Amino acid sequence: MRQSHPPLRSYGRLKTRTIKPRQAALMETLLPALRPPSGAFDPRALMPGAAGVWLEIGFGGGEHMAAQAGLHPDTLVLGAEPFQNGVASALRHIDEAGLTNVRVLDGDVRELMARLPDASLDRVFVLFPDPWPKTRHHKRRILQADSVADLARLLKPGGRLRFASDVAHYVDWALALVLANPAFRWTAVQASDWRAPPADHITTRYEEKRLGDCAPVFLDFLRGQPAVL
């Protein structure tokens, strides 16, 4: 049995402002149809014949998630976000684009990850997560040794993990944590590989605000073959 997790601790409240009427209606009508099943499940059963399964952890307002789903209609895109305002925004993007290849968990991604089978994901995105800058709060960052181990379990050999942040300490933290897991290899060979947005990156309004202390950094990792015992 996989370990259960304490409730997710996050900045402020899970709802920071009143949700607009149209988005509130989508929370009632569309969200129930997009939530992943409760209990363990195989994501490919949600979209038979999918070319791949991607996961975005903490999708914010859903701009990147919806845009990637629109560009890759043959791929199932899973997303998890605990903030109600972000979920409501994502639902608007999904509804306006008429997307049918997105599933949304309005909650703790760790609970979703625990329900997925091994080697069930092709790509994972962790883009501009809450940095929890104070040292005593670092334990609340979404990337920890155990969550990296979970991602190693979930990604197929050859699968890819992308982390992006504009907080220098979090970039260093993420790079050290991921590389400490032998399942992952950093794909960068030159500075432009982490300084320039990847060709398939979708820039969001949040990213454009540049709220961090450095220019955005993009770290792409490759999931290697499992060790032979």
- Give me the active site residues, please: 130
Q: Cα–Cα–Cα angle for 23, 27, 30, nearest 5°?
A: 105
Rounded to whole angstroms, the Cα distance separating 128 from 12 reads: 17
Cβ distance 91 to 62 under 8 Å? yes
Location of structure tokens 């290849």: 101
Upper half-sphere CA count for residue 96 (Cβ side, 13 Å)? 12
Q: What is the DSSP string of 83-127?
A: -HHHHHHHHHHHHHHT--SEEEESS-HHHHHHTSPTT-EEEEEEE
102: phi then psi, degrees, rounded to nearest 5: -125, 140
H/E stretch holding 168 reads helix 168-179
Q: 49: alpha, beta or left, given left = phi > 0 and alpha = psi -120 to 50?
A: left
Q: What is the DSSP string of 192-227?
A: HHHHSPPTT----HHHHT--SSS--EEEEEEE-PPP
